[in-house]
Amino acid sequence: MIVVTGAAGFIGSMLLRELQHRGYGDLVAVDDFSHPEKSHNLEGINLAQRVERSVFPEWIDANESLVQFIFHLGARTDTTEFNKAVFDELNVRSSQRIWERCAKYAIPLVHASSAATYGDGDLGYSDTDDALPYQLKPLNPYGESKNEFDKWALEQNAKPYFWAGLKFFNVYGPNEYHKGRMASVVFHAYNQITASGGMKLFRSHRPDYTDGGQLRDFVYVKDLCDVCIFLMEQRKHSGIYNLGSGKARTFLDLARATFNSMGKAEKIEFIDTPVDIRDKYQYFTEAPMGKLRGIGYAKPFHTLEEGVDDYVRKHLAKR
């Protein structure tokens, strides 16, 4: 069995869909299935089992001989949530319980980390220095929780025989419809343009960046799925890896790509960044991808224009 946690969510459901597309069977979905707004994400996927998140560690104990691989993608990902206790339980302790069982039963593991661990980026975005996580200062409890687990994993003597922590950068793509405020800028841009003919971007509150000139490494979710499956099939070179496109682009670039894919004339307005996130807002992220390339991953990533066009035309426009 191949197990995916966070299965009803954005990345988890897309990974399950791609695994099925490639002919993998015996797929197990783990999540809190009490959220009906996410239920359609699993439509059309043939699942061997659905396992409630709350009993998953015990389920591993009972089924370890049948489990071939675990993708632990489930997490609390809201960067505007500041209750640290929520992240301590869902992102740290629950991940530790899964790791410990993977080590005990020799189950290979890929888990989701985040570029939010890098904070404001002043220390760079290197995934080759195992000492860096101890120096990083994430800007919110979500990033802190991911960094705490990264540090904990690196310190363990008992490890899965293969493991990889993936620092996801700014992911966009199908099946994020339930994420509300935390959905990608592409998703919000499409809906704003559809409703009003224009879209709003955050104004820059730093003199070294123009309005809309803030830079992010936007990565298409289908590229993430390709990398996850590559790691599952290879199962060597354990460690923490960046997972972005490798190329920072501006929010203006993203907006223009969205207008173009929709066949609409550009109409962009700038608004103030909300006060509750303004001092914790990243102005630049870019993933050095040499480490992943160095272990043999050679498939090109979608450019921003390619990814946005695929998402808009094949998914958003057909909803």
* 271 in Cβ contact with 201 (< 8 Å): yes
Name the pairing type of β-strands 249-250 and 215-216.
antiparallel
Whether 311 is a known active-site residue: answer: no
Paired residues of 112 in beta bridges = 166
Non-local (6+) Cβ contacts of 230 within 8 A are: 297, 299
Cα distance between the two ends of the chain: 31
Which of 262, 226, 317, 315 lies closest to 40 in space, CA to CA? 315
* Pairs from 84-90 (Cβ < 8 Å, separation ≥ 24): 84/141, 84/144, 84/145, 86/141, 87/141, 87/142, 87/144, 87/145, 88/145
Whether 104 is a known active-site residue: answer: no
d(CA 247, CA 303): 9
- Which single residue is written with the structure tokens 């988890």? 12
Hey, what are 13's tokens?
């459901």
Burial (CB count within 10 angstroms: exposed 0-12, middle 13-18, buried 19+), residue 230: middle
* Annotated active-site residue in 84, 159, 179, 291: 179
Q: 3-class SS at 174? A: coil
* Annotated active-site residue in 38, 118, 125, 142: 142
Question: What are the catalytic residues?
Answer: 142, 179
